Structure 1
Amino acid sequence: MGKINNPILLFEKWYDKELNLTKVRIPTAVCLSTIGIDNFPNARFVSFKEIINDSFIITGPLNSRKGIEIKNNSKVSLTFWWTETERQVRIQGIATEIKVELAEKYFDTRNINSKAVSLICEQGKEVDDLKLLEDKIQNRVAENKKIEKPKNWSGFSIKPIRIEFMEFKKTRFHDRKLYELKNDKWNIKQIQP
């Protein structure tokens, strides 16, 4: 791993390489971890959108468990695992809700099924009749009308304070570098495998 002083540039370099090599169907998947209302950690895979102003953007319903947990405690982490390059990136940071205009831009890029699910479903809530819910979604899709972004659908911008890069080696002597933001400057430490 060459020395790059800006971890965002290093992330983009690694990410682009993985995207060019990967065969996985959803190469943008990233594990988002939050601190639960019950103080247990919660982790789930979400779709990474892009980097804006050195922050990592994800989207989803604000009234989902992840949305509620982020509003309760904005400290989150992201974990990327890339199979082709055998690299891992772990990010710890502070999440803030993105602007409505940006959320609308992301929502507009979704396919009609995804939009209908976002409009009708309350992500993570218990359901009595799954078939009835599915029919409701399919009927909305069949109407073939524009679906506006629901009020509770948005996203989060995650401003990193720590980013760890790890390159796996066959010898198990993995190359790990930790970038920590202190006084608006990235400090780099080589850490043991």
Structure 2
Amino acid sequence: MSLNPFQLFNKWYVKELDTSTSSLPSACCISTIGLDGYPNARFVSLKEVRDETFIITGPLQSRKGLEIEKSSKIAITFWWETTQRQIRIQGNATKITDDEAATYFDLRTKDSKIISIISKQGDTTKNIDTLKQKFSEAESTYESKNILKPKNWGGYAIQPIRIEFMEFKKSRFHQRTLFQLSNKEWTTTILQP
């Protein structure tokens, strides 16, 4: 086994991308410490692994963004059905630069960009039809125009301190390997199933 958890992650991720029938193989569960002290989890799309960090994006004023602003401690969980593998990550999130966020925003579909400018993610609404009307109006406005990243849209780089890889086995002797960062070096521990 590789002593570098990022090499192992990439190896597993490429395998999942090559074999998965899922429409969203990059989906992962992000868990934060809620503003009320309770854990809070939701699924997002991993944008990439870069410079030994995991990159996610979204509205900075969403509940997720507000929770990360209050506490940078975050967990990421991947479950890959096709390869029967799970990866659990704990670490600290820091905001990516505005230029980096703009680059990720440019990669979004036009519909996703429009939703990002008309919706305040997680806020209440009295009538969804009002948002649909705003969407239609924005569609017309931006028919032949580029949509720029809103100021409240950004992303986070999650620097892990702990990564656990688990490969499920029919025998129930699941293979579990824990990488922990200590003094800027990764140590490896085998965990019981």
User: What TM-score, normalized by structure 2, do the two folds share?
Assistant: 0.98
Unaligned runs of 5+ in 1: none
Match of 1:106 in 2: 104
Q: Out of 85, 88, 91, which is 1:87 matched to? A: 85
1:182 correspondence with 2:175: no
- CA shift digits 1:45-78 (9 cap, x unpaired): 0010101110000000000000000000000000
Within 1, Cα distance between the matches of 2:139 and 2:109? 10
What does 1:6-155 align with in structure 2 at a 5 Å threshold? 6-143=4-141, 144=143, 145-155=145-155
Within 2, Cα distance between the matches of 1:138 and 1:52? 36
Give the drift of 1:142.
2.3
Unaligned runs of 5+ in 2: none
Within 1, Cα distance between the matches of 2:7 and 2:22? 23
Q: What amino acid is the match of 2:29?
A: C
Q: What amino acid is the match of 1:30?
A: C
- Paired residues, what number? 191
1:158 correspondence with 2:176: no
Q: What amino acid is the match of 2:12?
A: W
What secondary structure sits across from 2:158 in the alignment? strand
Within 1, Cα distance between the matches of 2:100 and 2:139? 24
Match of 1:192 in 2: 192
Within 2, Cα distance between the matches of 1:172 and 1:139? 54
Moved more, 139-148 or 6-15: 139-148
